[in-house]
Amino acid sequence: MKLPYFLIDAFTDQAFAGNPAAVYVLDRPISDALMQKIAGEMNLSETAFVLQDGNVTRLRWFTPTTEVDLCGHATLASAHALFTAIDQPLSGALTFDSASGALICEQTADGIRLDFPATPPSPMPPDAIICEQLGVADPIYFGRSTFDYLIHLSREDDLLALAPNFSALAGIETRGFIVTAKANAEDLDFVSRFFAPATGVNEDPVTGSAHCCLGPYWAAHLNKPALRAAQRSERGGRLKVEVASGRVLLTGHAVLIGRGELLL
């Protein structure tokens, strides 16, 4: 059996930046166990599997160790593959059926726009253990969304200096930890980093789904529904974020950098 795949850098317009994802466009179902093994073999933060099932286009995402319910960059990569890389590319808009419901992806002049559910955070007292293991002191805000903890720091420089204890954080029951700050750059509103050691990803390069939490938070904090964001990982990436009616619209570019076949 040959399984073709595409290697795509998401939330960037240049190769070897943004967040890489492998996208498998399947012509038949394969088992969950095989998808997980393939994701482990690819060893990227996410591997996406797309399957056309009648009139429904199904999308699933796997880290090297587990399946997740929502992933932004691998959705962007999957849409980019279907819009540009397959033998008969799609055009306009497409809808993925996923564990997080219907996800609409649309080609625009600014890139591919993803229509995702908002996951706003709720405030809670700062957790001393989490703050210690992240290396955070005196956060402006500490809260939790559907998937992750959210911590707002007073300075971007403090965010850049973080060196988390990943082995300790991996033992805390959550998908991940979003750390954010107001951006120093005038062309950005906020920046962030995302750590998810419990799912096998110590630091994710650019995390679209984290912005489903960051978008509502910063829109309320800045009284501004349309935002410009950057993730300050080593690879880095940028995206536009718009909050509207319980949804978050994420817009970014993607670059196809390779393709191949898995031989089984």
Break the chain into its structural domains and give their ranges: 2-117+251-263, 122-245
User: What is the dotted CATH code of the domain comprising 2-117+251-263?
Assistant: 3.10.310.10
The answer to whether residues 112 and 81 touch, using CB atoms and an 8 Å cutoff, is no
From residue 255, alpha-carbon distances to 9, 31, 80, 92, 187 in Å are 5, 29, 8, 18, 23
Q: pLDDT digit string (tens) for 133-181? A: 999 999 999 999 999 999 999 999 999 999 999 999 999 999 999 999 9
CA–CA distance, 81 with 52 (Å, rounded to integer): 14
Q: Determine whether 46 is an active site residue.
A: yes
CA 114 to chain centre: 11
CA–CA distance, 9 with 6 (Å, rounded to integer): 10
- In which band, very low, low, confident or very high, does the pLDDT at 253 lie, cut at 50, 70 and 90? very high
| Pairing, β 19-26 against β 46-53 | parallel
* Residue of 46, 173, 186, 234 marked active site: 46
**Would the pTM of this model clear 0.75, i.e. be above it?**
yes
Residue 225, SS3 per DSSP:
coil
Please tell me the class of the 122-245 domain: alpha beta
From residue 129, alpha-carbon distances to 134, 136, 164, 169, 172 in Å are 9, 10, 12, 9, 10
The answer to whether residues 48 and 23 touch, using CB atoms and an 8 Å cutoff, is yes
- In which band, very low, low, confident or very high, does the pLDDT at 244 lie, cut at 50, 70 and 90? very high
Q: pLDDT digit string (tens) for 1-57? A: 899 999 999 999 999 999 999 999 999 999 999 999 999 999 999 999 999 888 899
